[in-house]
Amino acid sequence: MKTLIPLCLCMTLLISCNTGTAKNKAPEAEEWIQLFNGSDLEGWTIKMNKHALNENFNNTFRVENGMMVTRYDEYEKFDGEFGHIFYKTPYSHYKLRVEYRVVGEQVPGGEGWAFKNSGVMFHAQSPESMGMDQPFPVSLEAQFLGGGEEGDRPTGNLCTPGTNVVIDGELVTQHCISSTSPTFRGEEWITFELVAYGDSIIYHLVNGDTVLTYSAPVIGGGSKPDDYAVADGTPVKGGYIALQAESHPYEFRKVELLDLSK
């Protein structure tokens, strides 16, 4: 004799099986690339103002205690040696995550605006294409700022050496645009994230909160070399990533990237 299974029971079993399969299916793991390997500066190129490529003047960039750091203990006085350390691979569509903190005291001779000031340059020209006396690469910059004893000083701001962007449908030509982040006055660790979709939309996030959004970066503005080969108005679709040294010590314990072009 055939055993008849009620239709409602069959449907219940089918739903249970499908639900169980969905629950058991593990999400695909994100393949983050560790740009900093935690032990040395392999894969990075240094360019400092007034110095030749890969001349690490006064041992400014180094690795200490598993962190990439900028230090000024071998300086008597800062004299415009703005430095950048570039990762070897250019990117266009990506998510970048940097965990940083500001520490110690600014070196004598540092500019007032460079107090507790660092950042990440992105969509940048290559270090090889920079001039000997070029202080900053043509790029977009997300600032890493610390606050003084009083007054607001948000981090995650945008500065635009040799570039312009669009905000709310308008071309913005001012050099720096403030974010909506809080002010961080101490030596706490900050997580900065950048989400860039080529020359489309770009987001800045500080500790998980979106603090700035803009789009359509182009070459433009006065703060670029007179002989820069790319014409104003050219879309900036991608480029190199570089961390800054501007006269105040910083520490970076994580620099990682998720390639969104795949």
Single-letter amino acid, residue 164: N
- Name which of 119, 141, 247 is nearest 190 in CA terms: 119
CA atoms 184, 186, 188, 189: torsion sign: positive
**Could you tell me the residue ranges of all domains in the chain?**
41-259
pTM of the model: 0.89
- What are the residue ranges in the chain where pLDDT is below 50? 1-17, 19, 22
- Other CB atoms within a 10 A radius of the CB of residue 12 amount to 11
Coil, helix or strand for 13?
helix
Separation CA 122–CA 141 (nearest Å): 6
pLDDT at residue 128, as a whole number: 97
CATH superfamily of 41-259: Exo-inulinase; domain 1 (2.60.120.560)
pLDDT at residue 24, as a whole number: 62
Separation CA 166–CA 174 (nearest Å): 11
pLDDT at residue 171, as a whole number: 96
pLDDT at residue 5, as a whole number: 45
160 CB-near residues (< 8 Å, 6+ apart)? 140, 141, 172, 175, 176, 177, 217, 221, 223
pLDDT at residue 57, as a whole number: 98
